[in-house]
Amino acid sequence: MKVYNFSAGPSTLPRQALEQAQKDFLDYNGSGMSVAEMSHRSKVYEEIHNEAISLLRELMGINDDYYVLFLQGGASTQFEAVPLNLLVKGRADYIVTGNFAKKAYKEAKKYGDIALAASSEDKNFTYIPDVDKIEFRDDIDYVHITTNNTIFGTKYNKLPKVKTSLVADMSSNILSEVMDVNAFDLIYAGAQKNIGPAGLTVVIVKKELVNNPMPICPTMLRYAIQAENNSLYNTPPCFSIYMSMLTFRWIKSMGGVKEIQKINEYKAGLLYDFIDNSDFYVNPVAAEDRSIMNVPFVTPDKDTDALFVKEAAANGLVSLKGHRLVGGMRASIYNAMPVEGVKALIDFMKKFEKQQR
């Protein structure tokens, strides 16, 4: 049975990339080896590695002022790597708009004077604070935001104005819409939503920021060390990087991020319009702050939610159960989710609603 995978991560991957990986798996490019088994020091792998970096630079418009690093440990490791590398004065401000932003704030507090500049926890993270009203402290090293809230389904549509470095966890909306990389000083993202399989973390960081890590910063977490070694200080997640390269090729073939954004906005618009015109389904997020990647919704009660998830799976619509902190359902409609998948979900939602009347 064909299924549409609405998982928040690891998430669906472009079919074109999966089919190419299938063709390459036993023998990549005539090497006689699978990428899963070849040395990360080999010339064959080096070409994959460098193409992936080059394609990401092209797709996001990353200039030579930034390093592009391919690291391990997931975005969660960056919750500590960021303060360990960037806390020179020992102070930073965080905006907390969801569970992962809250975790980043908690981890950073271990290493310096970390303040909560704003939070949307008062309304269960269903909105983004007005960034124009946030007052940041003077003499801080950076401000940290999470650009898209995977669990609660919100995103920033406007960036805070800061006098220092702006750091962003972009795990669940990187490459989904055009972003001005120059507006950020450091971007990090786990790969398993819009880039590739779990195991890879992308870090895009201004070169001028990597040279003053805290003395206690572990070698493996030092951006300067990784940059000096082209992210090959130790064995990187080679297969995840290869799959990401194929995804980058796919995005480029689709017309780049600008065209992907149009498709994503169309998909999200279809789903939100249906929910908003229903008196059965509800999306709790402030309309102006809605994510185009993660769409949470509920039915009138928890038992009906559970039935919805069960019957949806039986109809080939899988991984729709909402996060345990929210309940209900969540449709993650990342780049690789086709328009047909969203339309299939809406068709099922219509039928399910009629059955419950």
341 domain-assigned: yes
Domain closes at, from 193, 219, 253: 253
**Pair (116, 98) in one structural domain:** yes
206 domain-assigned: yes
The domain that holds 302 is classified in CATH as 3.90.1150.10
**Pair (282, 222) in one structural domain:** no
d(CA 245, CA 251): 10
For the chain, the average pLDDT equals 97
Model confidence pLDDT, tens digit, residues 301-322? 999 999 999 999 999 999 999 9
Structural domains counted in the chain: 2
- Residue span of the structural domain in which 64 resides: 21-253
**Pair (244, 265) in one structural domain:** no
343 domain-assigned: yes
For residue 332, give the H/E element and its range.
strand 329-332
Q: Is residue 53 very low, low, confident or very high in pLDDT (cuts 50, 70, 90)?
A: very high
d(CA 344, CA 333): 12
| Two structure tokens written together for 315 | 């109809």
> Which of 243, 174, 188, 194 shows the shortest CA–CA distance to 221?
188
Residues 150, 294: contact at Cβ < 8 Å?
Answer: yes
204 domain-assigned: yes
Residue given tokens 């939503």 in the structure block? 193
15 domain-assigned: no
Model confidence pLDDT, tens digit, residues 184-223? 999 999 999 999 999 999 999 999 999 999 999 999 999 9
Q: Is the pLDDT of residue 325 over 90?
A: no
The domain that holds 67 is classified in CATH as 3.40.640.10
Domain closes at, from 253, 281, 300: 253
| Two structure tokens written together for 41 | 């020091």
**What pLDDT shows up at residue 174?**
98
Model confidence pLDDT, tens digit, residues 141-157? 999 999 999 999 999 99
**Pair (92, 167) in one structural domain:** yes
**Pair (200, 271) in one structural domain:** no
14 domain-assigned: no
**Pair (245, 259) in one structural domain:** no
164 domain-assigned: yes
> Which of 205, 224, 210 shows the shortest CA–CA distance to 88?
210
CA distances from 30 to 44, 71, 122 (A): 10, 27, 57
Torsion from C-alpha of 184, 185, 186, 187, nearest 10 degrees: 20
CA distances from 216 to 4, 80, 110, 111, 203 (A): 45, 11, 12, 10, 20
**Pair (34, 75) in one structural domain:** yes
Model confidence pLDDT, tens digit, residues 3-26? 999 999 999 999 999 999 999 999
Q: Is the pLDDT of residue 1 over 90?
A: no
Q: What percent of the chain has pLDDT over 90?
A: 98
103 domain-assigned: yes
Residues 143, 167: contact at Cβ < 8 Å?
Answer: yes
Model confidence pLDDT, tens digit, residues 101-148? 999 999 999 999 999 999 999 999 999 999 999 999 999 999 999 999
Q: Is residue 2 very low, low, confident or very high in pLDDT (cuts 50, 70, 90)?
A: confident
Domain closes at, from 253, 274, 290: 253
**Pair (323, 337) in one structural domain:** yes
Q: Is residue 48 very low, low, confident or very high in pLDDT (cuts 50, 70, 90)?
A: very high
**Pair (203, 273) in one structural domain:** no
Q: Is residue 270 very low, low, confident or very high in pLDDT (cuts 50, 70, 90)?
A: very high
Q: Is residue 357 very low, low, confident or very high in pLDDT (cuts 50, 70, 90)?
A: confident
Mean local confidence (pLDDT), 14-39? 96
**What pLDDT shows up at residue 329?**
97
**Pair (180, 104) in one structural domain:** yes
Instruction: Find the angle CA(173)-CA(174)-CA(178) to the nearest 5 degrees.
Output: 100
| Residue 156 identity (one-letter amino acid) | Y
In 3-state terms, what secondary structure has residue 54?
Answer: helix
Q: Is the pLDDT of residue 35 over 90?
A: yes
**What pLDDT shows up at residue 230?**
97
Peptide bond into 10 cis (omega under 30): yes
**Pair (315, 176) in one structural domain:** no
> Which of 92, 97, 96 shows the shortest CA–CA distance to 108?
92
**Pair (132, 223) in one structural domain:** yes
β-strand partners of 203:
69, 188
